[in-house]
Every structure is written in structure tokens, then in C-alpha cells.
Amino acid sequence: MAPALALYRSTIGKKVAMALTGLILVGFVVAHMLGNLKIFTGSQHLNEYGEFLRTVGEPLFPYSVLLWIARIVLLGSVVVHIVAATQLTMLDRASRPERYVFHKKQQATYASLTMRWGGLIILLFVIYHILHFTTGAAHGNFIEGDVYHNVVSGFQVWYVSVVYIAAMVALGFHLYHGVWSMFQTLGLNSSKWNGLLRGLSVLTALVVAGGNILIPVAVLAGFLS
Amino acid sequence: MNVTLQVWRQKNATAKGQMVKYEVKNISPDTSFLEMLDIVNQELIARDEDPIAFDHDCREGICGMCSLMINGMAHGPEHATTTCQLHMRSFKDGDTIYVEPWRARSFPVLKDLIVDRGAFDRIIAAGGYISVSTGSAPEANVIPVPKENSDLAMDAAACIACGACVAACPNASAMLFTAAKVSHLALLPQGQPERHKRVIDMVRQMDDEGFGHCTNIGECSIACPKEISMDFISMLNRELIKATATNKE
Ligand code: FES
């Protein structure tokens, strides 16, 4: 524990914390997207999958326990990710009190410059998403346990779909810079691997954002009903 | 050629500065950028005005003394070029050129375009060296160094500590500089005894100086007149993680 705390005290250590929690969250969004695609195999499959997430591990783990453990790990990761990001952002804000009159960016990507705002958008989206599809509080027509119905009727409201699609675009940008950054921060990058890691982050961003966007698009197009 | 300069003028460290406009007439395109400033200064001196203060020394791209944010780019628009190696032919007749000092809390402006880069010296003093016994010089080639490592160490050692990386970074981070200095010694056998202590102490000093952190944006590496690669930042991260994990203190 002591070395981890010593590391966290440095700016690099805070970034390592962001990279490790980022890794957990990337794993989650990939798995979540793959699970979502079950909707294309029909309502029964999707609902069974939703139930499976609650019964997995039984009888060793009682109903829903593994799901709750996963939720707690994810919540913890989100908290650490955001706390470290906030601490670092404050340092950065203080690091250049006087700005340039004229400043030209030479190669920074849009994704790399929008990690903070993008992250905030994703956070707001996650809160909405939980209220919408998990608790149903933000859903006009929610039926507990009928995942398929909730998703389809939710996305039939066009502006809800637009919010989801926009959020997935934001997530795509975040992943595009974040996945590569993760390796860079953990010290796993070098000229030998750079191309591959850049490719991996493009792939992750496209697959996660694209896979999820397919669903509201399919609902709006009347393909899922 | 004629150009208009917009130059940051600031009397001293505590005074409030502002951009001041200068019309520069009949400059040869083959004048270097710093010579152009020299010419402007001669005219200012002739008019009994305070000349523009800027840092320079070797004027051949090796010492790291020159600086300047030129049109919003550290060391100006040319790639892998220091300000002292920049020529007026890189600009067009009639251009307006903005000239500003490096901007970072850790690089306070002393006067006009001169900033105090002492923070870099303190990072080096924290561990950017090797301890050797003085005395008769040992035979140079007695310790074998793999070619790959010596090449990479040389790439890192090319850093002239000018501070362009800090100036160009949106977070005013000194990671590229610190990474170059840590990697350079970590790659060579002479750097091994103090390897772990070095990275821990240098990163601590870098943080204490108040530089921002690295968001892996890469503006530093593009601005660097010596083309130091961001790979070294990854190497620095790796060195720090390893050193902290095995630190006995
Ligand atoms: S004056 Fe020495 S590097 Fe420019």
C-alpha cells in the first residue's frame, strides 16, 4: 500500500490511477456493448441476459450479489478516475496563470483536447442512463425486468435516441485518446508499439460507439419494435 | 522585406506587461530572426528607448538559451529548429509576427521576453547527474554499451533544456524535459546505481516546481527543436512506477 500511496502523491501516480481505473472502465464499456447487441437476437435473449447478470455465480453468490460487486468496483473506479482528473486539472489550471495572446496548436487532436469536457458529458450521461434504463425513473413507460420493451420504447422517443447517440460519440472520442493514453501512462508504449496501440484505440472507440449507436438507429428505423 | 512585430514588453518581474507594435522595414530575408531583433534594438537604442530583452547565447542551436513563442509556436514555425536558427525567409513580406515569452507559472517573466528557467536547473540538481569519483580518466570503452541503448540515450541527451516543451504544452508540463533527462541516464550503465532514486527525486522536484501534468497531447514533441520523442515520457512513467514499487526507503 505504501508504494501505491507514494506513487499517487506524484502527478504521474495520479495518472497511473486514472489509467488503471480507465482500464476497468474500458473493459466494462466493451462488455456492456457486446451484451447490448443481444437485442438483435430477440426480446427473449435480451431479457434472459439481463436475468443472467443477476443469477450468475449462484448458488455460491446469492441473487444479484456478483452484479452488485461489479457495480461497486465500477463506481469506485469512476470515483477514483474523476477525483484524480479533478486534482490534475486544478494543477494544470494553476500552471499557466498568464495565457498567450496568440497560440497555435500544432498537432493536438480534438479528442485529446476535450478529455475533460467529454468526461463530464459522459458522467452526466451515465447518471441519466441509470435513471432511464436501470431504475426507470426517467422512463415514461418502464416495465421492471422487460429489458427489451424498455429499450425499444425508450428509443422510440427520437430525442432520447439523439441524446444516446451524441453521448456515444463523446465516449468514442474519450476512448480514442484515452485507450492510447492508458498505455503511454503505464509506461507500456514505445516506438515499436505505438502504431499498434494507436490502432487499438481507434478500434475500441469505433466498436464501442458504433455498436451502441446501432441500437437506437435500428429502433428509429423500425427494425426493432 | 517589411514585417510588423507585436512584442511582449514588460519592465520587470512585477510590472504588468503588454504587447507593443514595431514596424520593421527593409529586412533581408536571409537575416536570422534574432539578428532582426538586434536591428530593431539598435533603432530603439538610437531613439533612446529600452531595447527588447531576449535570451540567446550560441546562436547555433546547441546551447538552449534562446526561446520565444513566435506566432504562437515555440521557436517559431520551422520544424526541429531553434529560434536562433530561424530566418526571416520563413515569413512573408507584410506579415504580422507575434513574439511572446514562454508562459508558465514555473517560468516567471524577468523582463520582456526573458523568463527564469531555474526550475529546470533544480530538476537537474535533484538527480539529473551521475556520481563519479574524480581522478585519472578511465579507459573510455571499458564498459560495453549496446548500440541500441547508446543510440536511444543519445536521442534523449539531445535535449538542450530550452523549455519549448513547457511553453507549447497546454498544461505547461515539464514531462518531456524530465523524461529526456531521466531516460538518457537510465539507458546507460553509468546511470544504474542511482537509477531509482534519480527518477523519484526528479519527478518530485518537477511536481514541486508547479508544472502541470502530461495529458499525452504531444504538442511538446512537435515543438521540440531536438525532436525528443514522447516515447521517453512513457519510459519516464515506467521508470517511476518501477522505482516506487521497489523503493526501500
Ligand atoms: S542561442 Fe543557443 S540554442 Fe539558440
The pLDDT tens digits of the residues spanning A208-221 come to 999 999 999 999 99
One-letter amino acid of A51: E
Yes or no: say if A142 and A136 are a contact pair by the CB < 8 Å rule.
yes
User: What pLDDT, on a 0 to 100 scale, did the predictor assign at position B152?
Assistant: 96
Per-residue pLDDT at B216:
95
Same domain, B24 and B139: no
In terms of CATH architecture, what is A2-220?
Up-down Bundle (1.20)
8 A C-beta contact, residue B193 and residue A76: no
Residue of B nearest to A6 (CA): B244
- Grid coordinates 546547441 are at which residue? B62
Does ligand 1 lie within 6 Å of residue B178's CB atom? no
- Residue B101: give its domain's CATH number: 3.10.20.30
| B56 and B132 within one domain | no
Candidates B244, B247, B249: best to mutate against A (most CBs of A within 10 A) is: B244
Over residues A128-150, the pLDDT tens digits come to 999 999 999 999 899 988 999 99
CB contact under 8 A, B222 and A107: yes
Are residue B85 and residue B127 in the same domain, yes or no?
Answer: no
With a cut of 80, say whether residue B150 has pLDDT above it: yes
A190 touches chain B (CB under 8 A): yes
> Domain boundary at B53, B78, B110, which?
B110
Kindly state the DSSP code that residue B12 receives in the 8-state scheme: S
Task: Give me the half-sphere count of Cα atoms (radius 13 Å) on the Cβ side of residue A165.
Answer: 15
Q: Assess whether B54 and B148 both reside in one domain.
A: no
The percent of residues in chain A predicted with pLDDT above 90, rounded, is 81
- Judge whether A225 is closer than 8 Å to chain B, CB to CB: no
Check residue A216 and give its pLDDT: 97
Tell me if B203 and A10 make a contact (CB, 8 A cut-off): yes
Query: What is the rounded average pLDDT of the residues B175-191?
Result: 97
Does the pLDDT at position B234 exceed 90? Answer: yes
**Which residue out of A106, A182, A191 would a mutagenesis test of the B interface target, given it has the greatest number of B Cβ atoms within 10 Å?**
A106
The answer to whether residue A59 scores a pLDDT higher than 90 is no
Contacts for A58 with CB less than 8 Å, ≥ 6 apart: none
The answer to whether the Cα torsion of A151, A156, A157, A158 is positive or negative is: positive
Q: Diameter of chain A by CA atoms?
A: 65
Query: What is the per-residue pLDDT for A58?
Result: 84
Return the pLDDT at A99.
93
Among B110, B134, B165, which residue terminates a domain?
A: B110
Is residue A154's pLDDT more than 70? yes
Identity of the highest mean pLDDT range in A20-29, A38-47, A61-70, A187-196? A20-29
**What are the phi and psi torsion angles at A192 (to 5°)?**
-65, -40
Backbone angles phi, psi at B229, to 5 degrees: -80, 150
Q: Quickly tell me which residue has 502527478 as its cell.
A: A11
CATH code, domain with B164: 1.10.1060.10
What is the CB neighbour count within 10 angstroms for residue B133? 5
Verify that B70 and B152 share a domain, yes or no: no
- CA gap A57, A66 in Å, rounded: 7
Distance (angstroms) between ligand 1 centre and the Cα of A191 equals 29
Mean pLDDT computed over A160-170: 97
Ligand 1 atom showing the smallest separation from residue B225 Cα: 3
Mean pLDDT computed over A75-100: 95
Q: In terms of pLDDT, which residue wins out, A62 or A20?
A: A20
The per-residue pLDDT for range B4-58, each reduced to its tens digit, is 999 999 999 999 999 999 999 999 999 999 999 999 999 999 999 999 999 999 9
B114 vs B109: CA distance, rounded Å: 6
Q: Cell 515520457 belongs to which residue?
A: B233
pLDDT, position A1: 66
The conformational region for residue B51 under phi > 0 = left, psi -120 to 50 = alpha, else beta, is: beta
Q: Are B159 and B117 in contact (CB under 8 A)?
A: no
Confidence of residue B137 (pLDDT cuts 50, 70, 90): confident
Q: What is the least distance, in Å, from the CA of B102 to any CA of chain A?
A: 9
What burial class does residue A49 get, using C-beta atoms within 10 Å of its C-beta: 0-12 exposed, 13-18 middle, 19+ buried? middle
- Output the pTM of the full model: 0.94
What is the C-alpha to C-alpha distance for residues B29 and B92, in angstroms, rounded to an integer? 9
Give how many domains chain B has, as a whole number.
Answer: 2
Q: What is the ipTM of this complex?
A: 0.91
Task: Walk across the sheet containing B69-70 and list its strands.
Answer: B18-24, B3-9, B96-100, B69-70, B73-74
Average pLDDT, chain A: 94
Q: Are residues B105 and B133 in the same domain?
A: no
- Shared domain for B192 and B146, answered yes or no, is yes
Q: B181 and B62, same structural domain?
A: no
Domain that holds residue B80: 3-110
Percent of chain B with pLDDT strictly greater than 70: 99
**Last residue of a domain, which of B76, B110, B144?**
B110
Question: A175, A28 in Cβ contact below 8 A?
Answer: no
Q: State which ligand 1 atom lies nearest to the alpha carbon of B162.
A: 3
The pLDDT assigned to A145 comes to: 85
Alpha helices in chain A (DSSP H): 2-9, 11-36, 43-55, 65-95, 110-113, 115-129, 147-155, 158-185, 191-220
Whole-number average pLDDT of chain B = 96
A28 has a pLDDT exceeding 90: yes
| Residues B34 and B140 both lie in one domain | no
pLDDT of amino acid B247: 78
β pairing state of B3-9 and B96-100: parallel
Please check whether residue A148 touches B, CB under 8 A: no
**Residues B41 and B105 reside in one and the same domain:** yes
Confidence check: pLDDT of B249 > 80: no
Q: Are B124 and B19 contained in the same domain?
A: no
Q: What is the 3-state secondary structure (H, E, C) of chain B?
A: CCEEEEEEECCCCCCCCEEEEEEECCCCCCCEHHHHHHHHHHHHHHCCCCCCCCCCCCCCCCCCCCCCEECCEECCCCCCCCHHHCEHHHCCCCCEEEEECCCCCCCCEEECCEECCHHHHHHHHCCCCCCCCCCCCCCCCCCCCCHHHHHHHHHHHCCCCCCHHHHHCCCCECHHHHHHHHHHHHCCHHHCCCHHHHHHHHHHHHHHCCCECCCCCCHHHHHCCCCCCCHHHHHHHHHHHHHHHHCCC
